[in-house]
Chains A and B, each alone.
Chain A
Amino acid sequence: MAKRPAYSNLCKAIEEGKFVVTGELEPKKILDLSKILHSAEEMKKTGKIVAANVTDGPQGDAYMSSLVPSYLVQEKVGMETVWQVTVRDRNRVALFGDVIAGAVLGLKNILTLTGDHTALGDHKRGRPVYDIDSTQFAEMLSMMIDEGTDYEGNELEGGKIKMNFGCVANPNSNPREPEILKVGRKVEQGIDFIQTQTAFEVDEAKDFLKDLEQFNVPVLLGVFPLKSHGIAWYFDKFIPGVSVPKDLLKSLKTAEKENKGNKPAKYAAIDKINIEYFEPFIKEIKKTTKAAGIHCMAVEYERLFGPLLKDF
């Protein structure tokens, strides 16, 4: 298949060979988006972040739809977004409708996801949709972008949509082979980039990136700087397949304990731990792998971006 043009700044930067960094914004059960917009502003100020992911009901929770925040961040902050869309809550009809709505709003990147099951979220009794899976969603997007049709081949008035889209891959997957085979199938359906779930062990990450090299598709490796011990603990315990290294958990706990009551000192200590852990990690990835960049999932932890990314 001929390579699709880079419509988004993210894909353009990747094409130019830059080592890109993306951030993450998480609209939750909120009416006020000022915090999200502030986070985006802070990310933009660092000058290091090319685009910010906007999550779509992570962990199966009922949160604000990702469409509007994705648009507002682009419109009000001028920061490009990677619009996360899961197939958990919408059937093919709604997905098509949302995607063209997003295209009209000027969104340029979609990240296709299956989505955590509703049984894991805060509306456990709800019925998940999963009408199509994320691979089929990729096929549908390819048709919309490359052929200008819906999923049944009906023409889209006004031509083709101009977007790039990616899929996710999980480096923590055990066994790994079915995961790699699945990614291969998504590549066949025309994805523009791969964004991975978070990795903490550099050797494992490198190994995974090596496995993905065969597809010749840019990969953004997921990293997750830990804003607090609580978040690290939650991530370790509740995010499928992710385990935070014990030493890292312990040092975060100690830092919080030692600096109890002194917020600036606590923040400084936590930032130091993260920089000491992730800076060499990212350097190693940049130096020794073919990764196109990293996806930094530090939600509401923008203060780290400047010092962490100063050399990138």
Chain B
Amino acid sequence: MIITQLKDINEIYEMIKPYNKILVAGCDDCCQPPRSLNEAKLLGQLLELKARTEGKDLKWKAITVLRQCDDRIAATTVRPFVEEYEAIVSLACGLGVVMMNKILTSILTFPAQNSHFGGTQYNSENNFIEMCETCGDCIIGETGGVCPRAGCAKHLSNGPCGGMVDSMCEVGGYTIPCAWVRMWERLKEFNRLDLFKKYRGPRDFRLSTSPGYIEIYKEYTNEQEEKKEGKE
């Protein structure tokens, strides 16, 4: 899930201040906490109230999109409204906002949220934890399933730094467990400290340099396979 947080209402209002009719678009898919139709309505109401304090009459409509980052879904859902409105406020993560701007070229879409990380919710608690950094070079097979890149504030590859106190990380006031201690505990439990001791060389940052681009569709026919094997 993509962990997001609503921006301050004043910041959102500043972005849409020049417009009188706005479309507030929720997103149904991976945003956490959920940002769907109800949240879009609430944001519309808040913006309307804020506009009223400035003596302005803001017209708005709330809709929701199954996935704003999917060009086809977003286009078919939102395009029918574009003519009527002057701007869109999106409750999607950054991916959704970028895609809306890409496909809806006649209107500006503004972000209502800050997107933080790909995260998990643990023990149904009301907090989210980053556990994968989408680095393009997964090594959690060597670390007992704990990511040293997302989990360690210093992104270390070869063990805990000296800032760990009683298994807690120096960043965040010793409230977050040290990822390297978790790795050690887990690998020790499975008698795999050989993996913990392993030296890992420097990271290849080409794998995670922005903008990332991966081509997933490649032509493939069994004819190619036959050619490769010399079966003309």
Binding site for B on A (CB under 8 A): 88, 92, 114, 116-117, 119-120, 128, 130-136, 139-140, 151, 168-170, 172-175, 177-179, 181-182, 184-186, 188-189, 197, 240-241
Contact = CB atoms under 8 A, between A and B. Distances in A.
B170 interface: yes
B170 A120 contact: yes
A197 B193 CA distance: 25
A136 B196 CA distance: 15
B160 A241 contact: no
B220 interface: no
Which of A168, A177, A186, A188 has the most CB atoms of chain B within a 10 A radius of its CB? A177
Contacts of A182: 158-160
A185 B158 contact: yes
Given A114-B156, A181-B159, A139 B166 contact: no
Contact of B197 (A119, A120, A184, A240): A184
Given A114-B154, A178-B159, A188-B199, 11 more contacts: A120-B170, A131-B203, A131-B205, A133-B155, A136-B201, A170-B162, A175-B181, A175-B184, A181-B193, A184-B197, A241-B164
B60 interface: no
Given A135-B199, A151-B202, A241-B165, A173 B160 contact: yes
Interface in B193-225: 193, 196-197, 199, 201-203, 205
Nearest to A140: B202
B141 to A, nearest CB: 18
Contacts of A128: 153-154
A185 B197 contact: yes
B171 interface: yes
Contacts of A88: 154
Contacts of B49: none
Nearest to A184: B197
A175 B202 contact: no
Contacts of A114: 154, 156, 161-163
Interface residues of B, number: 30
Interface of B: 153-167, 170-172, 180-181, 184, 188, 193, 196-197, 199, 201-203, 205
B143 to A, nearest CB: 12
Contacts of B153: 117, 119, 128
Q: Which of B162, B164, B196 has the most CB of A within 10 A?
A: B162
A172 B170 CA distance: 14
A240 B202 CA distance: 26
B162 A136 contact: no
Contacts of B162: 114, 168-170, 173, 179, 197, 240-241
A184 B158 CA distance: 10
A189 B156 contact: no
A177 B184 contact: yes
Nearest to B196: A181
B47 to A, nearest CB: 29
Nearest to B180: A178
Contacts of A189: 199
A117 B158 CA distance: 17
| Top 10 A-B residue pairs of the complex, sorted by shortest distance between their CB atoms | A182-B159, A135-B158, A178-B184, A170-B162, A114-B161, A133-B156, A241-B165, A240-B163, A130-B154, A119-B171
Listed residue (A119, A172, A184, A240) with the most chain B CB atoms within 10 angstroms of its CB: A240
Nearest to B163: A240
Given A132-B202, A133-B154, A178 B160 contact: yes
